[in-house]
Amino acid sequence: MKKILYSLRSHKLLQVYSALIAIVAGLLFGLIILIVIDPSQAFPAFNSMLFAGFRRGLSSFGNVIFFATPIVLTGLSVGFAFKTGLFNIGATGQLLIGGFVAVYIGVTMTFFGPFTWVIAVIAAGIFGALWGIIPGILKAYKGVHEVVTTIMMNYIALYLVNYFVKSSIYDGLNNRSLPVPRANIIPKFGLDVIFSHSNIQGGFLIAIIAMLIIYFILNKTVLGFELKAVGYNKDASKYAGINDKRRTIHAMMIAGALAGLAGASMYLSDSFTYINVQDSMPTQGFMGISVALLGLKDPIGILLAGLFFGYLQVGGQNMQLYGFAPQVIDVMTGMIVYFSALSLIFAKFAIRFFRLRNEGDDA
């Protein structure tokens, strides 16, 4: 038993080390790109990016949290699906559906008074869950792969939201929805006092609560055990009496709800308050995939990875002062994900090597 626990602990540490190696490798790759573009400004820009999140103390870190909030929630959505053996590429569409519902309620249902934002957040989670159920049902009863259906659902969500915005709460002058009144956005709960002069929003507390709930579900409940069992081995879990079809639907429903909450946290804030009519999807949903991978599919790891990606976003803004496009940060984050995947491959070889070595020593 001790050997098993030690092996599991070592495996977890190896994964953490792999993620750290991926971060360092991705940052170094980004530095090389900066040197190629402009050698004279590369190191000052890179230094500015590294310390941007703390340059103005808590104010700068408040901006880090602002950027991190929606991608932590979409990361939890993708990571939760990963834990149950599913690949939720549809977090972007679920975010859009949840975001539209939140904005619609915030604009039109002001009769709820100070509780309008609460109703809007809850509704965003519900509609995100309903959008996630569709690929879940197709996966459970028709065997349609969730990657295909969730990608298709993203585009359906994009154009459906465009249609509903134009037909209900449209601001024709700016080609976007009407703004949510300030009274109906998510309160900051005093965070703006702690992180003064920043863009921090109260949605971060929603992300923290969601992380704790998901951690509890996965590790402390029968539902979480059954969801993970279906993810590890559907046939074995079915043999043990678990309804794998129902659990697949439940997994996609919870993942969709988390992405819907991400939409509410984005659009019920001082910085957005409206949804643009556009042909491109918000990047926060796709960044959630990167966050989930770097966070090793663990809720706490996803929170830390989301904060790290938010830190990079703030750094990308600072690099513009040195003549570099902020898209360089997107290249860095992309390379971090690639190196993370490679490091996990190396980690598997390392685990296999040490296991064989230990078996040889025991013999």
Check pLDDT > 60 for residue 9. no
C-alpha to C-alpha distance for 300 and 296, rounded to whole angstroms: 9
Cα–Cα distance, 159 to 162 (Å, whole number)? 5
Phi, psi angles (nearest 5°) of residue 219: -110, -15
Which of 187, 68, 178, 179 minimizes the C-alpha distance to 116?
A: 187
pLDDT at residue 8 tops 50: no
* pLDDT per position as a tens digit, 285-309: 888 988 998 887 889 999 999 999 9
Model confidence over 168-200: pLDDT tens digits?
999 999 999 999 999 999 999 999 899 988 889
Cα separations (Å) of 130 from 104, 123, 143, 257?
17, 10, 19, 8
DSSP-assigned letter for residue 276 = B
User: CB–CB of 237/226 below 8 Å?
Assistant: yes
| Alpha carbon 164 to chain centroid, angstroms | 25
Q: Domain extents for the chain? A: 1-38+324-363, 62-323
Report the 10 Å Cβ neighbour count for 274.
17
Residue whose token pair is 């975001």: 99
Q: Please tell me the total number of residues recorded for the chain in this structure.
A: 363
CA atoms within a 13 Å half-sphere pointing along the CA-CB vector of 129: 12
Please give the structure tokens belonging to residue 292.
């989930």
- Predicted local distance difference test score (pLDDT) of residue 183: 92
- The CATH label, of 1.10.10, 1.10.287, 1.10.3470, 3.30.360, for the domain at 62-323 is 1.10.3470
Would you call 180 helix, strand, or coil by DSSP? coil
Alpha-carbon distance 253 to 311, whole Å? 30
pLDDT digits (tens, 9 = 90+) for 136-167: 999 999 999 999 999 999 999 999 999 999 99
Q: Which residues of 195-204 are buried (b: 16+ CB within 10 A; e: fewer)?
A: beebbbbbbb
Q: Can you give the pLDDT at residue 362? A: 53
The one-letter code for the residue type at 121 is: V
End-to-end distance of the chain based on CA atoms, in angstroms?
19
Question: What CA–CA distance (Å, rounded) separates 280 from 303?
Answer: 26
Among 164, 157, 117, CA closest to 259? 157
Strand-pair partners of 177: 170
Percent of the chain with pLDDT over 90: 53
CA distances from 113 to 266, 267, 331 (A): 21, 18, 44
pLDDT at 170: 96
pLDDT digits (tens, 9 = 90+) for 62-107: 999 999 999 999 999 999 999 889 999 999 999 999 999 999 999 9
CA-based radius of gyration for the chain: 22
Contact 283/121 with Cβ under 8 angstroms? no
Q: What is the DSSP string of 187-226?
A: P-TTHHHHTTTS---THHHHHHHHHHHHHHHHHHSHHHHH
